[in-house]
Amino acid sequence: MQLQDLIPAAAGTEAAGVDIAALAYDDRAVAPGTLFFCVRGFTRDGHDFAPAAVERGAAALVVDHALGLGVPEVVVGDVRAAMAPAAAALQGDPTAALDVVGITGTNGKTTTAYLVRSLLTAAGRQTGLLGTVQSVVGGVASPAIRTTPEAIDLQATFADMRDGGDVACVMEVSSHALELRRADAIHWAVAVFTNLTQDHLDFHPSMEAYFAAKQRLFTAGARAAVINVDDPYGRRLADADPDAVTYGIESADAVLRAEDVRFDLRGSSFRLGDTAFTLPLPGRFNVLNALAAIGAARALGIDDATIAAALPHAARVPGRFEPVEEGQPFAVLVDYAHTPDSLENVLTAARPLTAGRLISVFGCGGDRDRGKRPQMGEISARLADHTIVTSDNPRSEDPAAIIEEILRGIGDRSAVEAIEDRHAAIEAAVRAAGPGDVVVIAGKGHEQGQEFADGHKVPFDDATVARDALRQITEPASS
């Protein structure tokens, strides 16, 4: 394809007619015929890699200032912003052929995405999935690397979905993706907003800036918007869009308002008007996720009977309120709560299911929003009967220092202990639990590794560690 058909700014320049076979934002992915985008990043400047890209055969460069390396170049104001439209054009605008449902919000994106996909699949529509846990493309699942990939990778995946027989795609849209223009040039069928609470303030300068990033999804021309108006930021979005499908439990004016909300360890039920719904996910917040999914499915023309029949069989997300059962007389739940709001929600949901004591095990990720740490400490100490503070993914930080920041949020530490080694912390929790207790292991959910300094990752799975610990106490000792 000619360069001017990918980047309008190239028209009339020496670069206009250059034939482009592929796109890349990393020089290591460049092959002959590739158009290389020199992205000014947070740690590196892609322009510095242009000579290497040329060496590897780059046919042309997209730059924000002329480099004069002997290959045609297009100068644009914002190199990142040029990537998505070019990628969509190169792939033949694949989202024009897909009903794309985009889900944004601090918590609940992955869960809601799974629910929407289950509903669309039940309605006979082959649906792709993109998100934190896995991607499903043309029916083939693979583990995800990123919640929302770079535009070049994203548009190639959409093309694979289209070519693999998918008619719809459900995707999580992270605030990073919206801010960094990864999710531009997508034809949205439905945009969903779950909620906005503190997270990622290491990346966004303020909550208002974080909200502004999320807002982009709702000004991108989606055919329908589905918005949680129990959330104050959702209320602001809905106020700006009179056609929005609003949902909530507390908001009397919500288009989709759940009533008679009930849940136990196995799942939840609620009523919408005259129709009763059940789902295999416990907790009030999962009822909100179900409302979001119902709103999206309805917007795509799926009837309530199909939805109500499918919801009880919806696919569960690994590591979200996931029970680990080895015949022990108490419950162990693995959950991905890694923000103050989600930790509060998961412990609040676990409380009425707890006959004895509620035991919480959690830590906070390194190189991420530090403001969350004392808040999560306070929440756990307030809502659980016993708290074990441990490591999450320390990344480049000192795990003991992270734990200290968590503990700073806790006044009365009489029911709090710190065990830095996550393995030992989970074992201690399981050993401390008695009949009727509930142990919540929060923060890592489905994750399969623990990340230390220099990207060093060791295999680690909360559910497996908990299962092994449970076996030690439930299996009779061998003689």
Ligand X SMILES: Nc1ncnc2c1ncn2[C@@H]1O[C@H](COP(=O)(O)OP(=O)(O)OP(=O)(O)O)[C@@H](O)[C@H]1O
Ligand Y SMILES: CC(=O)N[C@H]1[C@@H](OP(=O)(O)OP(=O)(O)OC[C@H]2O[C@@H](n3ccc(=O)[nH]c3=O)[C@H](O)[C@@H]2O)O[C@H](CO)[C@@H](O)[C@@H]1O[C@H](C)C(=O)N[C@@H](C)C(=O)N[C@H](CCC(=O)O)C(=O)O
Residues in binding site = 105-111, 147-148, 174, 182, 368, 392-395, 443, 447
Span 1-40, contacts to ligand Y by CB under 6 A: 25-28, 39
Any contact of residue 194 with ligand X (CB under 6 A)?
Answer: yes
Rounded-to-integer distance, Cα 95 and Cα 123, Å: 20
Pick 150 or 437: Cβ nearer ligand Y: 150
Pick 90 or 463: Cβ nearer Mg ion: 463
Pick 46 or 267: Cβ nearer ligand Y: 46
Rounded-to-integer distance, Cα 77 and Cα 7, Å: 12
Contact residue for ligand X among 158, 210, 285, 330 (CB under 6 A): 285
Partner that binds at residue 365, options ligand API, Mg ion, ligand Y, none, CB closer than 5 to 8 Å by kind:
ligand API
Contact residue for ligand X among 238, 346, 358, 428 (CB under 6 A): 346
Per-residue binding letters, 58-97, with Mg ion (x by CB under 5 A): ----------------------------------------
- Tokens found for residue 233: 């930021």
Q: How far is CA 44 from CA 40, 73, 78, 404, in A?
A: 7, 20, 16, 32
Question: What are the binding residues for meso-2,6-diaminopimelate?
Answer: 368, 392-395, 443, 447
Partner that binds at residue 393, options Mg ion, ligand X, ligand Y, none, CB closer than 5 to 8 Å by kind:
none
Question: What are the binding residues for ATP?
Answer: 105-111
Question: Is the four-CA dihedral 97, 99, 102, 107 of positive or negative sign?
Answer: negative
Partner that binds at residue 72, options ligand API, ligand Y, Mg ion, none, CB closer than 5 to 8 Å by kind:
none
Comparing CA positions, the residue from 284, 406, 412 lying closest to residue 351 is 284
Partner that binds at residue 44, options ligand Y, ligand X, ligand API, none, CB closer than 5 to 8 Å by kind:
ligand Y
Any contact of residue 288 with ligand X (CB under 6 A)?
Answer: yes
Any contact of residue 343 with ligand Y (CB under 6 A)?
Answer: no
Give me the least distance between CB of 402 and ligand X, in Å please: 18
Rounded-to-integer distance, Cα 299 and Cα 358, Å: 40
Please name the residues in contact with 277: beta carbons below 8 A apart, sequence gap of 6 or more.
269, 270, 271, 290, 294, 307, 308, 311
Rounded-to-integer distance, Cα 202 and Cα 205, Å: 7
Q: Which residue is nearest to ligand Y (CB)?
A: 41
Any contact of residue 49 with ligand Y (CB under 6 A)?
Answer: yes
Span 109-168, contacts to ligand X by CB under 6 A: 109-111, 132, 147
Give me the least distance between CB of 105 and ligand API, in Å please: 13
Q: Which residue is nearest to Mg ion (CB)?
A: 132
Pick 200 or 422: Cβ nearer ligand Y: 200
Any contact of residue 338 with ligand API (CB under 6 A)?
Answer: yes
Give me the least distance between CB of 289 and ligand Y, in Å please: 16
Span 351-410, contacts to ligand API by CB under 6 A: 365, 368, 392-393
Q: Which residues bind ligand X (CB under 6 A)?
A: 105, 107-111, 132, 147, 172, 194-195, 285, 288-289, 320, 335-337, 341-342, 345-346, 445
Q: Which residues bind Mg ion (CB under 5 A)?
A: 109-110, 132, 172
Q: Which residues bind ligand API (CB under 6 A)?
A: 338, 365, 368, 392-393, 443-444, 447
